[in-house]
Amino acid sequence: MDKVCAVFGGSRGIGRAVAQLMAQKGYRLAIVARNLEVAKAAAGELGGNHLAFSCDVAKEEDVQHTFEEMEKHLGPVNFLVNAAGINRDSLLVRAKAEDMISQLHTNLLGPMLTCKAAMKMMIQQGGSIVNVGSIIGFKGNVGQSVYSATKGGLIGFSRSLAKEVARKKIRVNVVAPGFIHTDMTKHLKEEQFTKNILLGRFGEALDVAHAVVFLLESPYITGHVLVVDGGLQLTI
């Protein structure tokens, strides 16, 4: 049977780098994002028999339907990566409720919905899930109280789920990146942050992808939070 890996947020940034590594390792990939054209381009670049799907991770019906389509076209999903995420940075006093809700829905409700949908397939034959969190989820940051809450919540969710499903041979882990070069950070001035990063640079998406793939494939690790931040958390 094929090893099938669904990467939500696989069209760009960290998710895309994960998909590239997994494709090299012989997995069949489902690249999932809202923008189908960008997802198709990312799937096409992988070569081989990979497929793109359009889905808003915050909508339950959309997620359900996407898992049904993935199973129909690729077979049961036994590996899941939740890398879809957004930030709407703002001091809390200026934050709009609609931006709070969109972060909560995309970053926290989204992984809950995809994990729930994946359970139905994984419960038969086991599986492995990696949720992409952030060091901001436990360190906090000015202007990111809501984003931090979504990522802190994701850790609690993942560790609880790891306890719930371990007996079904399903593992659930988290990778918590620091600053990584992607569309999400392109507006930041790197030199303003590197003094706090022991390794002196922002990470690359591939730096995080190696950690995601390691956890996806590590048979005796579950409920773990792996920090990939160049040493940032030691200084802030």
Q: Which amino acids are annotated catalytic?
A: 147
**9 contacts ligand NAP (rule: CB under 6 A):** yes
Minimum gap (Å) between residue 46 Cβ and ligand NAP:
14
Decide if 118 contacts 129 (C-beta within 8 A): yes
| Residue among 18, 217, 100 nearest 8 (CA) | 18
Residue of the chain from 41, 86, 95, 119 that contacts ligand NAP (CB under 6 A) = 86
Minimum gap (Å) between residue 232 Cβ and ligand NAP:
10
Residues 178-217 that bind ligand NAP (CB under 6 A): 179-180, 182-185
Closest to ligand NAP by CB, 8 vs 27, is: 8
Minimum gap (Å) between residue 58 Cβ and ligand NAP:
5
Q: CA angle 29-33-36, nearest 5°?
A: 90
Closest to ligand NAP by CB, 61 vs 123, is: 61
Closest to ligand NAP by CB, 78 vs 107, is: 107
CA distances from 145 to 8, 87, 105, 141 (A): 24, 11, 15, 7
Closest to ligand NAP by CB, 13 vs 153, is: 13
**12 contacts ligand NAP (rule: CB under 6 A):** yes
Neighbours of 26 (CB within 10 A): 9
Closest to ligand NAP by CB, 13 vs 152, is: 13
Copy the structure tokens of residue 26: 């012989």
In the structure, how many helices (H) and strands (E) does the chain have? Answer: 8, 9
Half-sphere exposure for 181 (CA within 13 Å, toward CB): 9
# binding residues, ligand NAP (CB under 6 A): 30
Residue of the chain from 4, 5, 6, 15 that contacts ligand NAP (CB under 6 A) = 15
Give the sign of the dihedral formed by CA 142, CA 186, CA 201, CA 17: positive
Decide if 175 contacts 194 (C-beta within 8 A): no
CA distances from 107 to 8, 50, 87, 133 (A): 11, 25, 9, 9
Minimum gap (Å) between residue 16 Cβ and ligand NAP:
7
Minimum gap (Å) between residue 109 Cβ and ligand NAP:
10
**56 contacts ligand NAP (rule: CB under 6 A):** yes
Which residues are at the interface with ligand NAP (CB under 6 A)? 8-9, 11-15, 33-35, 38, 55-58, 83-86, 106-107, 132, 134, 177, 179-180, 182-185
